[in-house]
Amino acid sequence: MGPADILSTMEIGIPLYLVISYVAIISLCLLLTRIQLGLAVSFLFVFYLGYFYNRQLLLDIVKGSTLGTVTYTVLGFVIIILAIISFFSSPKQRR
């Protein structure tokens, strides 16, 4: 079974409180013109939903693939580092 087949048959539920908090945080980032932070928040939200919230479903699909888990975790840490960097950087001023 290929990756496209797995993604087309997989059902992932997202709780309403997570969607509301995501929309509120992204709206705040856009209102404060923190585009980089908003992008980092989007990546972190997807990372959280993709692995931590639906961990058992994903582990059943990949059947304990350590390469997939390590890759996913490393990319998550890269996203966290980029989020921290974007949080402390100031937005560029337009002239």
User: Is residue 13 one of the residues assigned to a domain?
Assistant: no
Examine residue 84 and state whether it is found in any structural domain, yes or no.
yes
Q: Is the pLDDT of residue 24 over 70?
A: yes
Over 70: is that where the pLDDT of 7 sits?
no
Full residue range of the structural domain in which residue 41 is found: 33-95
Q: Does residue 95 lie in a domain region?
A: yes
Q: Residue 15's pLDDT band (boundaries 50, 70, 90)?
A: confident
Is there a domain that residue 26 lies in? no
81 lies in some domain:
yes
Give the model's pLDDT for residue 56. Answer: 74
Tally of structural domains, the chain:
1
Dump pLDDT digits (tens) for 29-84: 889 887 777 887 887 888 787 777 777 776 676 666 677 777 777 877 887 787 77
CA-closest candidate to residue 92, choices 29, 37, 41, 33: 33
CB atoms closer than 10 angstroms to residue 41: 20
d(CA 44, CA 58): 17
